[in-house]
Amino acid sequence: MVAAMPEWDPEVEVDVATARALIGSQFPELASAPIRELAAGWDNVVHLVDERWSFRFPRRAIAVPGVHREIEILGRLAPNLPLPVPEPRWIGVASDAYPWPWFGAKFLAGVELADSGLADGSRGPVGTSLGRFLRRLHARGLAARVGTTLPVDPMRRADMGVRVPFARRRLETVAAAGVWQPTSAVERLLTEASGLPPSPRTVIVHGDLHMRHVLLDEGGEVSGIIDWGDVALGDPAIDLSIAYGSLVGEARGAFLEAYGPIDGLTELRARVIATFLAAALLGYADDQGMTSLRQEAVRALARVVA
């Protein structure tokens, strides 16, 4: 029997040689620039060109609509936000050599929060920065100002009828792998949220804001927010999950002080989304042998019910 392909395996692999050929054919001025792979995730791979430009290539067809949205919205969104985000400058088009759109943006330096090793007690400045950032991103009227036609929660992240079962399945997988032990607190959280109605609020959301998409500088300050492939309109809880998966104690308090009050139902949805993301990242990290990410995801599952 042939084993099923892991869901994060690429459908199209873009290695350094392929990226060099694609970039050189469409942007000759970069043809001779040095290039190296910077990072890879489930859906995209990023190559750094001339140590200045990060080029993002989809690895799976499911990511292509998100790349279109990034190209459409990020340049207009960036001036409205208090932290750096990628702004597409080099827009690659589909060709016989590669079937999907791709783009290059100014490189945002930093280490992923998941890999930073930053202790919970030192995350106060991170909480403040993220709270201010999401307050601006979620501002009423921003969608109208930037003139976007983003879809409404296409991944159904805030639909508890979908997200609670998804979270349970992810948790069952990591528990079966022996990398997480089920707790009554997490089960109570999922049970409490299972019948929640949808939120009446709709704002611009990053859509996938977690520990791998927040960059920190050497001083532990937030230096950028990356990977906007799930940018959409939706419930603020989709992004507020970062406050429950990556922050706890005083750092979470700093976030809430900067962001503003969050009602109880929004908080509950945010905690469920954080649980789902942590479990999904834990399964990925365990499969890929990513020790720092695995450890941070385990801690996130503890923070979410704290």
CA distances to 96, 120, 279, 294 from 282, in Å: 36, 18, 5, 5
Residues 132-180: tens digit of each pLDDT = 999 999 999 999 998 878 999 999 999 999 999 999 999 999 999 999 9
| Lowest-pLDDT range of 39-43, 93-97, 242-246 | 39-43
Total domain count for the chain? Answer: 2
**Judgement on whether residues 144 and 292 belong to the same structural domain of the protein:** yes
Q: How confident is the model at residue 4 (pLDDT cuts 50, 70, 90)?
A: very low
Residue 42 reports pLDDT greater than 90: no
Distance, CA of 294 to CA of 278 (rounded, Å)? 9
**Judgement on whether residues 238 and 274 belong to the same structural domain of the protein:** yes
Residue 29 carries which DSSP code? G
**Judgement on whether residues 83 and 122 belong to the same structural domain of the protein:** no
pLDDT exceeding 70 applies to what percent of the chain? Answer: 97
Give the pLDDT confidence score for residue 200 in this predicted structure: 85
CATH of residue 276's domain is: 3.90.1200.10
- Radius of gyration over every alpha carbon of the chain, rounded to an integer in angstroms: 19
- Tell me the sheet residues that pair with 49: 35, 53
Residues 279-291: tens digit of each pLDDT = 999 999 999 999 9
Residue 83 region by backbone torsions, left for phi larger than 0, else alpha for psi between -120 and 50, else beta: beta
Q: What does the pLDDT average to over 172-194? A: 97
Residues 74-113: tens digit of each pLDDT = 999 999 999 999 999 999 999 999 999 999 999 999 999 9
- Segments forming the whole domain that contains residue 218: 111-303
Residue 197 carries which DSSP code? P
**Judgement on whether residues 74 and 168 belong to the same structural domain of the protein:** no
CATH of residue 66's domain is: 3.30.200.20
